[in-house]
Structure 1
Amino acid sequence: MKKEIITWILRLAASIILLQTLFFKFSGAEESIYIFSTLGIEPYGRIGSGIAELVAVILILIPRTTWIGALLGFGIMTGAVLSHLFVLGIAVKNDGGLLFALAIITLLCCLGLLYLNKNKLYNLLN
């Protein structure tokens, strides 16, 4: 019971953060365009990462595929964190590091989901 509650908290936290950022990516918000232009992958990187995040959310919310979505989300957020650390900086356009913090939180939620589903990952590798 306790594991199920923790799993759902991690699922919802990661999904809400990922879904919230989709609006900005798909609507072409100024900050999103700035980020992906700085990375040199605007507009394809912005739209492509938005689609990948949407797929991750769907997979995370389906209990049977949570581990696949968490693996995808972990990969996406690893890229986001590394982009912040090596190219963008922690604070982007005076956001006080909010986007970086959200990426870290989502990364940790996905990591937690992977840990809670380690048996499925182990079965995949063997």
Structure 2
Amino acid sequence: LPRFAVDIFLKQCLPCQLRKPIKHHVVSKQIISLGVMTRLQIDLVDMRTRPDKVSENVVYNWILNCIDHYSKFCWAFPLKNKTAVDVSVKLRELFFTFDPPRLLHSDNGREFVTITFQSI
């Protein structure tokens, strides 16, 4: 039985329609940026399944992804592991080059909420 036939049947089936839950649309709040480097969004990309092996001792398993919300400009930094120290070192490099943003937006992962990370 083809999938489209099942879809047509389900759209016509009255008991199926009565049991179907009502979809509630969630209204999300729009994020506003006032200029370049006012809001920087950061997150880590897990590359452990396909690591970048530079040499025998140097293997990059993570990518620190930083996006300026206003300009959509993106930076990517390779990391050996996702400790707060390694993440904060790479962010300091970025901040020394382009000045720190007014707001740093992250998903509050363990590497972003430690005391070491808060000090930058």
Relative contact order (alpha carbons < 8 A, sep ≥ 6): 1 or 2 greater?
1
Which has the larger Rg? 2
Do the two structures share a fold, i.e. TM-score over 0.5? no
TM-score category, normalised to shorter length: under 0.3
> Structure 1 or 2: larger helix share?
1
> Structure 1 or 2: larger strand share?
2
TM-score by length of 1: 0.25
